[in-house]
Amino acid sequence: MASTKSNGTVAGTWKLMMEDGQPIKSPITVKYTKLFINGEFVDSVSGKTFETFDPRTEEVITSVSEATTEDVDLAVKAARAAFDHGPWPRMSGQERGRILNKYADLIQEHCEQLATLETWDGGKPLDIVKHFDMQEALGILRYYTGYADKIHGLTLKMNGPYQGYTLQEPIGVCGQIIPWNFPLIMFFLKISPALACGCTVVIKPAELTPLTALYCAHLSIEAGIPPGVINVLPGFGETAGAAISSHMDIDKIAFTGSTKVGRLIMEAIAKSNLKDVTLELGGKSPLIVMDDFDIDQAVEIANFGAFINMGQVCLASSRVFVQESIYDEFVRKLAERAKKQVIGDPFKGGVQHGPQINKAQFDKILKYIQYGKIDGANLLLGGHSFDGKGFYIEPTIFIDVEDNMRIAQDEIFGPVVSILKFKTIEEVIERGNKTIYGLAAGVLTKNINIANRVARSLRAGTVWINCYLVSAPDWALGGYKMSGIGRESGSYGLQNYLQVKSVITPLHESPWI
């Protein structure tokens, strides 16, 4: 057993839960570690591989084939042939929907294996993966499956003796790059609308968490999805990701990740074929707690919004603004609640807080905790890692935070929350908007007028009222400012993978006949 202590106004002590003092061994064998191109698992052209690690133990799980530029070319050729000459975009929407439904059934049948791989590869608690990530991923796939036979255009009322209509056609070959924090959800958030529309995809999972995407690729063939429709290329951003972004034969890019990488992708697109792009990027989301709201409920919402998935959430409520009359009580209760987080091996039942994804992210979070201290914030709780193996960091709370501090401006992507005090609605709206990001926000109040005013005033793609991080397949996910371009999920996500074509025909009596 390992334990640690934190300094600050409130002392925090956690115990790292292990089985017999050792991490629980994974019960699954990794079967799929090669690139998936044109319906087959193949070695990379270069023969290169890279290792994927268990963040609980820092030990190697397995070696995975590494895609580079040559592999991207092969995958794009396969996707191009499947789109230009294959059956997928030409079959009826009803038939595509039938195949995608079978795919969803297979994903559900293999839920246990996929959840185990997700936990092993990413460190996320298994209970959470089973009850949230798997269900969310399946919900997204089934949602878009239902759209497959409902994509159609409009009849146009033309001036003069003409008739017109629009066609909604699949955009083509789609390059998709997904992050490591929600691998299964992001895999299906990207491929599901594209497949429903009749597109083909070349998708790069994050090099830190490639295993579930490869497992899902295997199931796609069993479901009857034709070869070349889905191609999965594990690899690194600077090689495989860059090659996908700049490829002249890819028609669409969809990326979820950091704002820094989003800029690089935009540059690559501008220098290539000006392909269509959707970007879901970083966030530094405010959660505003008004003094009329139930404080215990507010504490639960804030704790969930800040520390879910070990804080590795772009939508996380990492800035909590609390009205001054309840600030002290809120701070005390949030610290008490955060101390109850069950930290430990994510395979152990009841664990809520596992390790960070890798050493680089672990070090970055600890660096920002030091920044908070240097800049003058007060470390109330946490701020430490655990002794021994694994990238475990305590839930961390800073108080007396100023808006210009680095911990209040930069996306830390870890279990670090800043608590800020405010007086008036006007003040908190201005301060809530004072970042380069605009991905999400929340407001907790019993006053509907305040709720509506704040929701309309915050420049964010999603605003939750009296809740936080509530999601569904039909919401619109995306951000303002440097949090991205476009929207994913729901019917908005469907439009990302369609082109609209107008067709106009003269009637018989037209002078053109």
Q: What span, in angstroms and rounded, lies between the C-alpha atoms of 323 and 290?
A: 6
Residues 321 and 263 placed together within one structural domain of the fold: no
Q: Three-state SS string across 385-424, please?
A: ECCCCCCCECCEEEECCCCCCHHHHCCCCCCEEEEEEECC
Residues 335 and 260 placed together within one structural domain of the fold: no
Examine the pLDDT at 5 and tell me if it is beyond 50.
no
The residue-averaged pLDDT of 479-490 equals 96
Nearest to 213 by CA among 236, 239, 182: 182
Give a yes or no: residue 494 inside a domain.
yes
Predicted pLDDT of residue 27 = 75
Higher pLDDT, 54 or 10: 54
Predicted pLDDT of residue 6 = 37
The backbone torsions φ and ψ at residue 148, rounded to the nearest 5 degrees and listed phi first, read: -55, -35
Residues 273 and 290 placed together within one structural domain of the fold: no
The residue-averaged pLDDT of 67-85 equals 98
Examine the pLDDT at 471 and tell me if it is beyond 70.
yes
316-341, pLDDT tens digit by residue? 999 999 999 999 999 999 999 999 99
Residues 300 and 270 placed together within one structural domain of the fold: no
Residues 290 and 268 placed together within one structural domain of the fold: no
| Residue from 66, 118, 136, 280 carrying the catalytic annotation | 280
Predicted pLDDT of residue 3 = 35
Residues 241 and 297 placed together within one structural domain of the fold: no
Q: Give whole-number Cα distances, 201 to 4, 88, 296, 299, in Å.
A: 46, 12, 46, 42
> How would residue 28 be classed by pLDDT, with cut points 50, 70 and 90?
confident
115-128, pLDDT tens digit by residue? 999 999 999 999 99
223-272, pLDDT tens digit by residue? 999 999 999 999 999 999 999 999 999 999 999 999 999 999 999 999 99
Helix (H) or strand (E) run with residue 428 in it: helix 425-432
- For 39, half-sphere exposure in the C-beta direction (CA atoms, 13 angstrom radius) is 12
Q: Is residue 280 annotated as a catalytic residue, yes or no?
A: yes
Residues 317 and 336 placed together within one structural domain of the fold: yes
Residues 89 and 227 placed together within one structural domain of the fold: yes
Give a yes or no: residue 473 inside a domain.
no
Examine the pLDDT at 420 and tell me if it is beyond 80.
yes
Predicted pLDDT of residue 20 = 64
Predicted pLDDT of residue 512 = 62
Q: Give whole-number Cα distances, 259 to 203, 263, 264, 481, 484, in Å.
A: 19, 6, 9, 10, 8
Question: Could you tell me the CATH number of the domain that includes residue 324?
Answer: 3.40.309.10
Question: Could you tell me the CATH number of the domain that includes residue 246?
Answer: 3.40.605.10
Residues 275 and 292 placed together within one structural domain of the fold: no
Give a yes or no: residue 29 inside a domain.
no
Q: Give whole-number Cα distances, 436 to 321, 430, 453, 454, in Å.
A: 17, 13, 21, 18
Give a yes or no: residue 19 inside a domain.
no
Predicted pLDDT of residue 10 = 47
Residues 324 and 441 placed together within one structural domain of the fold: yes
Q: Assign 111 to helix, strand or coil.
A: helix
**Mean pLDDT for all residues in the chain:** 94
**Considering its fold, how many domains does the chain have in total?**
2
Give a yes or no: residue 210 inside a domain.
yes
| Residue from 118, 199, 314, 394 carrying the catalytic annotation | 314
Q: Which residue has the tokens 């018989």?
A: 508
The residue segments making up the domain with residue 342 are 283-465
Q: Is residue 314 annotated as a catalytic residue, yes or no?
A: yes
Residues 254 and 151 placed together within one structural domain of the fold: yes
Residues 299 and 187 placed together within one structural domain of the fold: no
The residue-averaged pLDDT of 153-179 equals 95
Q: What span, in angstroms and rounded, lies between the C-alpha atoms of 422 and 289?
A: 9
